[in-house]
Structure 1
Amino acid sequence: MPRIVVLGAGPAGCSAGYHLAKSGHQVTLIDKATFPRDKICGDGISFESVQALFTLGIYPQDIKCLAQYAPVCGLRLGVSNGNEHMQTTQLEGYCIPRFELDNLLYQHAVEAGCIPQTQTITDLARSHPDLYHDYDHIIDARGVYAGEANAIAIRAYWSVKVEDFPEPYCSKAHIYFDPKLGVNGYGWLFPVTVKDGLIKLNVGVILWLDEYQKLNTNIIRLFDQFVQKNETTKALLSKLVSQQKPRAYPLTTAKRDNRVSDGKVLKIGDAANLTDPLTGEGIANALLSGLQVAQAINMSVMPAAAAENWQRLYQIHFEPDFQAGLWLKSLRKSFLANQLLISLMKRNHWVAERVMYAVAGLIPYSEFVPSLRY
């Protein structure tokens, strides 16, 4: 059996470790921190992410045992202080703080048979040549700092009294386009949990670096401008029971001509730039890349073939949707495109539903535009 090490125990690394251990491999799972540990994130678990969790034996009943989580059953999409549309669904996604989610995934990976270690791994080739000697496969799941950052986000946690947050909004993912965030950037407000009469909210903004660099300002100022201008967040400011200082973090969204393997090193999740190029959501692709890289190793007769097979599986399962997403992103030349999208959703229930499911990952971007013809 090949010797396997997984670097990083976030969603991608735990997924790879889980599936490989379940396949009978001896897997060393290394992370720089002990669990449970927090990670800055939007905390959204899309419908596609929920399905991906099933592959690790994690089901809704497991999620509902967590100390912090909130069901998400729809989308409120709008322009700050302007046009908006709210779409509901019988499907259920979630918002789960990474402190909770990553610890749950880590426990499943260790219970599956992964051997846990705590160590900081930086420059692989230069600082850790022993890994190349000791292992046949090095699965790089070290996250955004091992990938190529091309977006930036910032989030804060707010708490308000339940009665101060309208009930219809409590189970919706709120996404707002704002011209100050560029054509593709947006702000969000996600419910995290309801406890002791308080609702905890994840509030943030995301921008792509090519647009952010043209704005000649910083991400904290843009966050402040968004929450003070947006009608929903502005109304909450005077009702806050508590708030945490906003924290910024980079993202590695999809890019063209992507290589996910290099000799023994097989990149997955954020380390491989597998985050959605339109929404910035990365959990689903992280989990699924862990499954697919395990398949690549399991299907390879010789260890040397695993890298080629993982690159091939990436091109089959991920690349078409990423290319379609990047193409859709390129079509949004002006902020008017966002306003037209929302207006179209308000007039046509079918379009509104398709948009919501595309955002949630249930409809691939490669099928999204053709599906609107029917």
Structure 2
Amino acid sequence: MSKIAVVGAGPAGCSAAYHLARSGHEVTLLDKHAFPKDKVCGDGISIESIQALSMMGIYPHDIRKSASEYAPIDHFFLGVSNQIAHSETTKLQAYCIPRFFFDQLLFAKAIDAGCSFLTQTVNKNDWHRQGLYDAFDTIIDARGVYAGEVNAIAIRAYWLVKRQDLSPTALAEAQIHFDRSLGVNGYGWIFPVSTQDDPIKLNVGVGVWLDEYQKRKTNIIQLFKQFIQNNETARQLLTKVISQEPPKVFPLATAKKGNKVADGKILRIGDAANLTDPLTGEGIANAVLSGFYVAQAINMSSTPDAATDNWQYLYESQFEADLRAGLRIKALRKFSFMNYLLIWLMKQNPRVAQQVSHAVAGVVPYNEVLASLKY
């Protein structure tokens, strides 16, 4: 069995460490922070993520029991700000949970599987100087977005609202609002992250792509404020807020073409490999799945060189087609009418509505959505 370093103890790193340790490898998990730790992000766990987490023995009912903050999601809303919108119910539930609780749960699973843990900072391309390259057969780079190629930026804030001021649907609905003021591909979101008590905690934020953001003469905080003031749903919700935390900014490393995820004995996964969804910014599903598949690449290989080739192959066979389809849909959205047309089609055609909503929820691959729009 191999001696493996997994650098980064987020969802991707903990998934890889868990599966490798369970396979009998000697796994050292490194992170610059001790646990529990907080992470700024969107907090959403898609249906696809739930399926991936089940391979680690993590199930929604267990999380619901242990987490002090949790919100089930079974409605998915897509809208063009102040123009047109559609909400679709899904039979399968997703959920939202603050990452403080979620990451701690995955970390505990990895440690219970037999991983050892070290608190250590590893800077980009610093493998040799810190002795890691010679000490391990394989190094899995799971350091997150800063080790990948940042190409988007997001900002989120937590709002507290009294339960009585929200509709039953709003308590279980993830809303995405396309908004041209945020750029061609920019969007805002509103969804609950804790509905167990009163008041309800909501996650409100916006995401923009750097190539569009850099053309604007303002910063991300101002764009967030503009979205809140211009979007009718967000503006009305703000009048009901009884408390709010200051917004926090975080980067995203979304999919890119021609992606290489292996370099010698360094195998990149999760955000470090730019596996975040290019449309929604959701990164948990591919992070957890990449941990599973990189473990499979190592397990099926007789040498570290073979593991390198096999991980690149598994990335291309398991991830690339859907990420490319997402990038094609993103390219279509450069036409100003496309978001409106898509939601209009959802309102007219139940099959399209289900396909698109399930794609946002992480059930239907994007290439199937593209196919459904042809008929």
Q: Which TM-score band (shorter chain)?
A: over 0.9
2:363 aligned with 1:369: no
- Quick one: distance in 2 between partners of 1:202 and 1:23? 38
2:36 aligned with 1:44: no
CA-CA distance at 1:127 after TM superposition = 6.3
| CA distances 1:332-373 after superposition (whole Å, capped 9, x unpaired) | 222211111111111111111100111122111122222345
- Quick one: distance in 1 between partners of 2:91 and 2:3? 44
The 8 Å contact of residues 121 and 128 in structure 1, kept in 2 or not, is answered as no
- Quick one: distance in 1 between partners of 2:81 and 2:346? 16
The 8 Å contact of residues 352 and 372 in structure 2, kept in 1 or not, is answered as no
Q: Which segments of 5 or more consecutive residues in structure 2 lack a partner in the other structure?
A: none
TM-score after normalising by structure 2: 0.97
The 8 Å contact of residues 11 and 287 in structure 1, kept in 2 or not, is answered as yes
| CA distances 1:58-86 after superposition (whole Å, capped 9, x unpaired) | 01221211111100002111111221111
CA-CA distance at 1:238 after TM superposition = 2.0
The 8 Å contact of residues 185 and 334 in structure 2, kept in 1 or not, is answered as no
AA matched with 1:124: N
Q: 1:110 to 1:286 in 2, by over 3 A?
A: same
Q: 1:57 to 1:128 in 2, by over 3 A?
A: farther
AA matched with 1:332: R
Match of 2:7 in 1: 7
2:242 aligned with 1:253: no
AA matched with 2:13: G
Match of 1:321 in 2: 322
- Quick one: distance in 2 between partners of 1:232 and 1:109? 41
- Quick one: distance in 2 between partners of 1:283 and 1:352? 24
| CA distances 1:290-343 after superposition (whole Å, capped 9, x unpaired) | 000000000001122111110011010011111111111111222211111111
CA-CA distance at 1:7 after TM superposition = 0.3
- Quick one: distance in 2 between partners of 1:40 and 1:372? 35
Q: CA RMSD in A?
A: 1.2
TM-score after normalising by structure 1: 0.98
Equivalent position SS for 1:71:
strand
Match of 2:307 in 1: 306
CA-CA distance at 1:196 after TM superposition = 3.6
AA matched with 2:43: D
The more displaced of 140-149 and 353-362 is 353-362
Q: 1:305 to 1:127 in 2, by over 3 A?
A: closer
Match of 1:29 in 2: 29
Where do 1:199-218 residues align within 5 Å? 199-218=200-219
The 8 Å contact of residues 4 and 139 in structure 2, kept in 1 or not, is answered as yes
2:141 aligned with 1:133: no
- Quick one: distance in 1 between partners of 2:330 and 2:29? 36
Q: 1:297 to 1:214 in 2, by over 3 A?
A: same
Q: Aligned residues: percent identity?
A: 61
Where do 1:162-173 residues align within 5 Å? 162-173=163-174
- Quick one: distance in 2 between partners of 1:126 and 1:284? 27
CA-CA distance at 1:152 after TM superposition = 0.5
How many residue pairs get matched? 374
- Quick one: distance in 2 between partners of 1:9 and 1:157? 25
- Quick one: distance in 1 between partners of 2:218 and 2:128? 36
- Quick one: distance in 2 between partners of 1:172 and 1:29? 36
The 8 Å contact of residues 182 and 335 in structure 1, kept in 2 or not, is answered as no
Match of 2:190 in 1: 189
- Quick one: distance in 1 between partners of 2:374 and 2:226? 38
Where do 1:236-251 residues align within 5 Å? 236-251=237-252
CA-CA distance at 1:123 after TM superposition = 2.9
Q: 1:32 to 1:129 in 2, by over 3 A?
A: closer
Match of 1:228 in 2: 229
- Quick one: distance in 1 between partners of 2:285 and 2:141? 17
